[in-house]
């Protein structure tokens, strides 16, 4: 079986690859979105913790 025959899927290429492609896309996008959500969350929390710790420091100094 050569490659173009494999991709043609006996004339059903559009349907088969449409299914598998969209499935793969959905799974990858979900993981990517979650990774981004985590990253921004950690950044925000990190900023928050730095802000509060400098506030505490200022309070101690003054």
Partner 1 sequence: MAKKINWFKYSSPQTFYPLAGKMIPWFAVAALLFTLPGLYFSFFVAPPDYQQGEAYRIMFIHVPAAWMSMFIYMVMAGYAGMGLVLNSRLSSMMASALAPTGAMFTFLALWTGSLWGKPMWGAWWVWDARLTSELILLFLYIGFMSLYAAIDEPRRAARASAVLALVGVVNIPIIYFSVKWWNTLHQGSSITASKGPTMAASMFIAMMLMAMAFWMYTIAVALMRVRCEILERERHAEWVAEAMRGAK
- Our finding on whether 3 is near partner 1 (CB under 8 A) is no
Q: Which residues are CB-neighbours of 15 under 8 A, at least 6 positions away?
A: 9
Q: Which residues are CB-neighbours of 58 under 8 A, at least 6 positions away?
A: none
Toward partner 1, which CB reaches closer, 45 or 58?
45
> 7, 13 in Cβ contact below 8 A?
yes
Neighbours of 13 (CB within 10 A): 14
> According to CB under 8 A, which residues from 8 to 47 bind partner 1?
9-12, 15-16, 18-20, 22-23, 26-27, 30-31, 34-35, 37-38, 41-42, 45-46
Residues within the interface to partner 1 (CB under 8 A): 6, 9-12, 15-16, 18-20, 22-23, 26-27, 30-31, 34-35, 37-38, 41-42, 45-46, 48-50, 52-53
């Amino acid at each position: 079986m050569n490659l173009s025959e494999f991709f043609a899927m006996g004339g059903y290429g559009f349907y088969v690859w449409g299914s598998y492609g969209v499935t793969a896309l959905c799974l990858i996008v979900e993981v990517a979105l979650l990774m981004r959500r985590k990253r921004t969350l950690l950044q925000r929390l990190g900023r928050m913790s730095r802000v509060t710790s400098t506030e505490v420091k200022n309070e101690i100094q003054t």
